[in-house]
Amino acid sequence: MADAVLDHLVLATPDLESTAAEVAALTGVRPVPGGGHPGRGTRNALLGLGDGAYLEIIGPDPAQPAPEGPRWFGIDSLAGPRLAHWAVRVHGMAGHVARARALGYDPGEPVTMSRRTPDGGTLSWTLTPPRAGGLVPFLLDWGDAPHPAAGEALPVVRLRAFSGTHPDPATIRAELAALGTALTVEAGDEPGLTAVLEGRNGRVSIGAGAGTP
């Protein structure tokens, strides 16, 4: 079974329009609208990261009623943008979940998600629920759906570095290994993720300790 590969980074925010504008100012590249997630109370904007990955900026969708439960990625309690999570792409979700469980990590039961696309269509996929903390990624299987970063659909900024901090890096590394992926995780007081992006304005950092956006 092939290992999981980076699918996307999740930049969560209480104000999608404002954060998308901040990212555009930082990188010199403007994110494009993605769409709303029916029933989840969120919508997103996207930037390609190269190598088949992308940055998802996700926040509340004012066109939807408030969801029955909390919005994912802690959006309801955020005071500002946060690099909250990341996803790895797999093929054959059931097999990857079974392998992780056999290795001592339970990624949770997969659920089906969808969003409306700007052209009025619907994009669907399967994922495992994002866990608190964000250091251990959720699994995502696009099945037969077109990938958001395929072709020339997204403007691109390059992902030059991606790392994390955690009070117990060894535990995080073991859980990452169970999922068939890896991330540089150093010791730190709080869990956090940092990404270095390179756009038209040079290299910028987002996430823990970066201060921006």
Pairing of strands 53-60, 82-89: unpaired
CB atoms within 10 A of CB 52: 15
Helices (H), 49-199: 93-102, 169-178
Single out the residue of 53, 110, 59 nearest to residue 86, CA to CA.
53
Per-residue pLDDT of the chain (213 residues; tens, 9 = 90+): 457 899 999 999 999 999 999 999 999 999 999 999 999 999 999 999 999 999 999 999 999 999 999 999 999 999 999 999 999 999 999 999 999 999 999 999 999 999 888 888 888 999 999 998 899 999 999 999 889 998 778 999 999 999 999 999 999 999 999 999 999 999 999 999 999 999 999 999 998 655 456
pTM: 0.94
